[in-house]
Amino acid sequence: MEKTMNKLIRVIGLAIVGLFSTLLVANSVFANEVNVFSARHYDSDVQLYEKFTAKTGIKVNVVSGKDKALQKRIKEEGKDSKADIYITADAGRLGAFQAEGMFQKGASSAALKKVVPANFRSPYWVGIAKRARIIYYNPKTVNPSWNMSYEDLADPKYKGRVVIRKSSNIYNQSLVASLIKNNGEKNTAAWAKGMVNNFARKPTGNDRAQILAVAAGEADWAVANTYYLALMLSGKKGAEQQAAAKKVMPFFPNQDGRGTHMNISGGGILKHAPNKANAIKLLEFLLTPEAQQHIVNNTFEYPMIPGVKANKLIAQFGLDFKQDLKTKVSNYGKLQAKALKVMNEAGW
Amino acid sequence: MIKRINFWVIFAFLVPLLVAIPIFTVFLSFFDTTGNYLDLLKDTFLLKYLSNSFLILLGVLSLTFIFGVTSAYFVSFYKFPGVNFFKWALILSFAVPAYIYAYSLVAFFENYGTAFSILTFLFGEGDYNKYIPKFDGLIGSMFSISFSLFGYVYVLTRASFVFQSHNLIEVGKNLGLSSYESFFKIILPSARPAIVVGLSLVAMETLSDFGTVDFFSISTLTTAIYNAWISFDDLTTANQLSFVLLFFILLLFVLENLSRKGAKYHQNSKGNKPIPKIQLAGSKSIFATCFCSILFFCSFVFPVSQMTYWTIKFPKYFQDINFWSLNMNTLLLVFLSSLFLIIFSFMTNYGNRVSKNKLISYLSTFSVSGYALPGIILAVAFITFISWFSDFLSSIFGLNSFKNVFIGSVVGLVIAYFVRFFSLSYNGIKSGYSKINNSIDENAYLLGYSKLKTFSTIHLPYLKTNILLVGVLIALEIIKELPITLILRPFNFETFATKAYSYAAQDLLEAAAFPSLCLIIWASIFILFISKYILSEK
């Protein structure tokens, strides 16, 4: 019977050794590293980090997760946080995190200021890739005039023909924030009510599901980000979706006015970053032509720097459309709560 | 009294206290700042959140009741084609987490989804999207959660049916009750405690679900707490919402406990001959087979086929995965967590047994709170508590910060799992312990055995089956666990669940298929390993 006890003790001992060895591995110090917290989940980003390591010898460590939960972790860890860079999609999120004082200046280094347009960076964060939130339509049933706008989608003549995802989605919050910035809160509230009246169905699914709804004839108009259509056209979602995507046309709205709503994926250097110099190096690397080419070919976003061509699946729809460079993306974060309120009140 | 305070008792006191920390944290951290989220919420969404949570709960409870009780009834009392297969096949549904079920559901029914592909393949090109039913997120959540959780009701109800007094049913027959009448008048009422226990487990998991409702973007109480606390930093609102949620859960918990007590009086047929199964014939037999087949198909074959289909159709994603490290990480977490959970549950149980202290016994009851709290809330509460505690110790004793030891490490993960699943493990061991008569202990002490020796030479060997069972249940939960792992994990650390999630988050469910499939296979292996204990008819 002593045997059982011995066994028990041995197992416990083993477990403790195991625990500590994993602890050591988890906490082992790589002198030359940079730690990334990312709410973007692309495998292609990880490949890019590997390229960076090969080039510079700096090891890149990654934790990915849900945007807000990651932010909470960074905040609570405070000055003990090992995180150097926080990367996420949507300027609204970057702006909100900046407002909480979680970034330090330095993301837009002198080198980056030269290549990244002022509209897509701040002292605290820098855009890595661009996307447009555009209108999609069914060319068999409707034909938009060249100057159609987001505002027009609320026109009663489109009753029951518009699909868009829920108000809880950050892309919608940023789009509506830009409308508030340009048209005022009152007008935007009226617009949101008009949109809701025009909905073909209760908002459901992600951006791709909206495009598919137009392909399937459930609606004539959808609002979704640009890269979703390219993703389907690429065949990564199978032949059926590739064929479905061809039934839908993208349309870049507000060409007559401020231009199409643009947003970014971007990153900033965290307040307590232990490896700030490496963090700047990584951000600079992500904005080199080589890295940009890799990003646009995998995620189908638009390049952030001049001289890099968008992937042909997205370039075929035209690259010379007028982008909204007037509305600073930093507004998306500032007006986020108002945007959500406006949509909620409209029953979106 | 003093004599009673020893190592074991202190243990029985401390462990539940540790486990209860997150719940205290959730409440205590709400006494300072506040935002204006509540006003926004009150005007528009609060009612919606409540009604969504309530509707999902109602739907899931109804569905799991119908699925679980009906299948348990057929399998326990009748012979029909396939009955021996369904008996264990139905518990495989445990292997499919609700969020992976949700991926399959959406992928199958969406415009130009798998259903469309199948129709095109069978009948050629056509405009099939109109005819494919579309799921509202609410309905989708209900079905996903129901199919992945009905197993609780099935297993518990079946166990109660199998042990049901044969005599009662005989008496009913002699009184001229039809099988229909005896089901509603005898069988169902006497299995009620077991059914209630099953349903309350389902209810707790449903209320604390995050992955599924988040995937369908349905706002529930849980997502509202998450938003209020994490997105808006509005602690008052989060507090109030948490309070509503905890009230719900506490209610369920009391209900469950009462039913467990009730169950003792009903399961009195031990030693009776097993109930002879009735051979079904004709349409009845076809109905029973069909019902079980459809249930098995929907709950297990459907999601597995969808994932397999993708894995084969998109082999490219296959290569992108570091298969070896995913397996190692998942198993490491399973191993460490089950080990610590089992050891500590044992010691706590034993401490409880030797102390006979009411306070300690209440405290261990309270430790279920970890299970009742949604994983994502628990994870954040854990981070908040560790940070606070570390800062507190630094400011008083000038200690170095130990945040990095617990946040973003395997140690932290294991502790968070510990808190979450302690009640599962504690109660599992407890149910075995309650079968060892106290007089055995007293005899051992009379023979001069120390407490440690009684524990190691008498209790431990006696509870081998329980340990196995509890270990596997923990393994299943940890393999499927997502929100805690996602936020607390170290750098460059992926499990099957986080990998599947991260592909799903970039809208590549096709790539999520392979890790999902691996997750289901691992879980199935564990289930098959213990199925003979779960389904024991002795």
Provide the number of structural domains found in chain B: 1
Domain assignment present for B281: no
DSSP for residue B2 = G
Q: Which of B133-142, B266-275, B494-503 has the lowest mean pLDDT?
A: B266-275
- Pick B23 or B217 by higher pLDDT: B217
pLDDT per residue as tens digits for the range A247-272 = 999 999 999 999 999 999 999 999 99
Q: Which CATH superfamily is domain A131-261+323-346 in?
A: Periplasmic binding protein-like II (3.40.190.10)
Residues of B in contact with A66 (CB under 8 A): 486-487
What does the pLDDT average to over B502-522? 90
Q: What is the pLDDT of residue B40?
A: 54
Q: What is the pTM of this model?
A: 0.87
pLDDT per residue as tens digits for the range A36-55 = 999 987 888 888 999 999 99
Chosen from B491, B493, B495, B509 to mutate, greatest number of chain A CBs within 10 A = B491
Q: Checking DSSP bridges between strand A262-269 and strand A302-303, what pairing results, if any?
A: unpaired
Is B489's CB within 8 Å of A63's CB?
yes
Closest CA to A234 of A128, A293, A314: A314
C-alpha B72: how far from chain center: 19
Is A240's CB within 8 Å of B453's CB?
no
Residues of B in contact with A47 (CB under 8 A): none
Residues of B in contact with A26 (CB under 8 A): 408-411, 490-491, 493
B contact residues 56-115, partner A, Cβ 8 Å cutoff: 106, 110-113
Domain assignment present for B425: yes
Closest residue in A to B309 (Cα) is: A238
Q: What is the pLDDT of residue B267?
A: 46
pLDDT band at B130 (very low <50, low <70, confident <90, very high): confident
The pLDDT of residue B491 is above 80 = yes
What does the pLDDT average to over B162-191? 79
pLDDT per residue as tens digits for the range A69-114 = 898 899 888 888 999 999 999 888 898 899 889 999 988 889 899 9
A contact residues 230-289, partner B, Cβ 8 Å cutoff: 231, 236-238, 240-241, 243-244
Is A77's CB within 8 Å of B403's CB?
yes
Closest CA to B373 of B222, B215, B216: B222
Expressed as residue numbers, the domain containing B371 is 1-30+323-493
Closest residue in B to A89 (Cα) is: B506
User: Nearest CB to B136: which of A5, A204, A243?
Assistant: A204
- CA B227 to CA B233: how far, in whole Å? 8
Q: Which fold has domain A10-130+263-315?
A: D-Maltodextrin-Binding Protein; domain 2 (3.40.190)
Q: Is A38 helix (H, G, I), strand (E, B) or coil?
A: strand
pLDDT per residue as tens digits for the range B368-383 = 667 777 888 888 888 8
Is B336's CB within 8 Å of A19's CB?
yes
What are the two backbone dihedrals, phi and then psi, of residue B247, each rounded to the nearest 5 degrees? -60, -50
pLDDT band at A10 (very low <50, low <70, confident <90, very high): low
Is B217's CB within 8 Å of A165's CB?
yes
Report yes or no: B281 at the A interface, CB cutoff 8 Å.
no
The pLDDT of residue B144 is above 70 = yes
Report yes or no: A24 at the B interface, CB cutoff 8 Å.
no
User: Nearest CB to A68: which of B230, B335, B336?
Assistant: B230
C-alpha A341: how far from chain center: 22
Closest residue in B to A243 (Cα) is: B112
Where does residue B536 rank: exposed (0-12), middle (13-18), buried (19+ CB within 10 A)?
Answer: exposed
- CA B290 to CA B305: how far, in whole Å? 19
Residues of B in contact with A40 (CB under 8 A): 506
Report yes or no: A135 at the B interface, CB cutoff 8 Å.
no
C-alpha A245: how far from chain center: 21
Q: What is the pLDDT of residue B161?
A: 84
Which residue type is seen at B360? I
Q: What is the pLDDT of residue B231?
A: 61
Measured CA to CA in angstroms, residue B260 lies from A270, B156, B192, B431, B477 at distances of 51, 11, 10, 11, 22
> For all residues of chain A together, what is the average pLDDT?
89
Query: Which residues are CB-contacts of B180 (< 8 A; sequence separation ≥ 6)?
Result: none
pLDDT per residue as tens digits for the range A99-109 = 889 999 988 88
The CA angle B507-B332-B95, to the nearest 5 degrees, is 55
User: Nearest CB to B487: which of A12, A73, A243?
Assistant: A73
What are the two backbone dihedrals, phi and then psi, of residue A340, each rounded to the nearest 5 degrees? -65, -40
> Do the domains A10-130+263-315 and A131-261+323-346 sit in the same CATH topology, yes or no?
yes
Is A76's CB within 8 Å of B407's CB?
yes
pLDDT band at B44 (very low <50, low <70, confident <90, very high): low
pLDDT per residue as tens digits for the range B336-361 = 999 999 988 888 888 888 777 777 77
Burial annotation A18-28 (CB, 10 A radius, 16+ → b, else e): ebeebbeebee
Q: Evaluate whether B148 touches B98 at the Cβ level (below 8 Å).
A: yes
Domain assignment present for B530: no
Q: Is A137 helix (H, G, I), strand (E, B) or coil?
A: strand
Is B336's CB within 8 Å of A66's CB?
no
| CATH number (domain holding residue B430) | 1.10.3720.10
Closest residue in A to B508 (Cα) is: A237
Q: Evaluate whether B141 touches B52 at the Cβ level (below 8 Å).
A: no
Q: What is the pLDDT of residue B101?
A: 95
Give the minimum alpha-carbon distance from A308 to chain B in angstroms, rounded to a whole number: 23
Measured CA to CA in angstroms, residue A15 lies from B335, B350, B396, B403 at distances of 9, 21, 32, 22
The pLDDT of residue B72 is above 70 = yes
**DSSP-assigned beta bridge partners for residue A268:** A86, A125
**Number of A–B residue contacts, CB under 8 Å:** 173
Report yes or no: A80 at the B interface, CB cutoff 8 Å.
yes
Q: What is the pLDDT of residue B258?
A: 73
A contact residues 182-241, partner B, Cβ 8 Å cutoff: 202, 204-209, 212-213, 215-218, 228, 231, 236-238, 240-241
The pLDDT of residue B500 is above 50 = yes
Q: Is B265 helix (H, G, I), strand (E, B) or coil?
A: helix
Closest CA to B490 of B333, B278, B302: B333
Residues of B in contact with A207 (CB under 8 A): 507
Closest CA to B68 of B181, B212, B206, B188: B188
Percent of chain A with pLDDT over 70: 91
Burial annotation A148-184 (CB, 10 A radius, 16+ → b, else e): bbbbbbbeeebeebbbbbbbbbbbbbbbbbbbbbbee
Is B503's CB within 8 Å of A236's CB?
no
Q: Residue A38 CB: number of other CB atoms within 10 A? A: 24
- Read off the tokens for B6: 């020893």
Chosen from A76, A84, A348 to mutate, greatest number of chain B CBs within 10 A = A76
Q: Evaluate whether B198 touches B72 at the Cβ level (below 8 Å).
A: no
- CA B350 to CA A74: how far, in whole Å? 40
0.85 surpassed by complex ipTM: no
The pLDDT of residue B487 is above 90 = no
Task: Look at the block and give the residue holding tokens 């099953």.
Answer: B198
Is B407's CB within 8 Å of A73's CB?
yes
Q: Evaluate whether B107 touches B509 at the Cβ level (below 8 Å).
A: yes
Give the minimum alpha-carbon distance from A188 to chain B in angstroms, rounded to a whole number: 17
What are the two backbone dihedrals, phi and then psi, of residue B302, each rounded to the nearest 5 degrees? -60, -55
- CA B158 to CA B68: how far, in whole Å? 9
Q: What is the pLDDT of residue A9?
A: 58
C-alpha B320: how far from chain center: 31
Report the length, in residues, of chain B.
538
Is A217's CB within 8 Å of B129's CB?
yes
Q: Evaluate whether B30 touches B429 at the Cβ level (below 8 Å).
A: no
Q: What is the pLDDT of residue B369?
A: 66
B contact residues 177-196, partner A, Cβ 8 Å cutoff: none
- CA A79 to CA A69: how far, in whole Å? 18
Domain assignment present for B203: no
The pLDDT of residue B176 is above 90 = no
Percent of chain B with pLDDT over 90: 31
pLDDT band at B447 (very low <50, low <70, confident <90, very high): confident
- Read off the tokens for B271: 């030693």
Where does residue A315 rank: exposed (0-12), middle (13-18), buried (19+ CB within 10 A)?
Answer: middle
Residues of A in contact with B380 (CB under 8 A): 69, 72
Which residue type is seen at B211? G
Closest CA to A175 of A226, A218, A115: A226
Query: Which residues are CB-contacts of A163 (< 8 A; sequence separation ≥ 6)?
Result: A199, A200, A201, A203, A210, A213, A214, A218, A219, A221, A222, A223
Report yes or no: A23 at the B interface, CB cutoff 8 Å.
yes
The pLDDT of residue A221 is above 50 = yes
Domain assignment present for B453: yes
Q: Evaluate whether A37 touches A87 at the Cβ level (below 8 Å).
A: yes
Q: What is the pLDDT of residue B27?
A: 64
- CA A229 to CA B154: how far, in whole Å? 44
Q: Where are the domains of chain A?
A: 10-130+263-315, 131-261+323-346
Q: Is A270 helix (H, G, I), strand (E, B) or coil?
A: strand
What does the pLDDT average to over B126-138? 85
The pLDDT of residue B302 is above 90 = yes
Highest mean pLDDT among B30-34, B105-109, B227-231: B105-109
pLDDT band at A136 (very low <50, low <70, confident <90, very high): very high
- CA B489 to CA B408: how far, in whole Å? 5
What does the pLDDT average to over B3-30? 71
- CA B472 to CA B460: how far, in whole Å? 17
> How many Å is the Cα radius of gyration of chain B?
25
What does the pLDDT average to over B405-410? 91
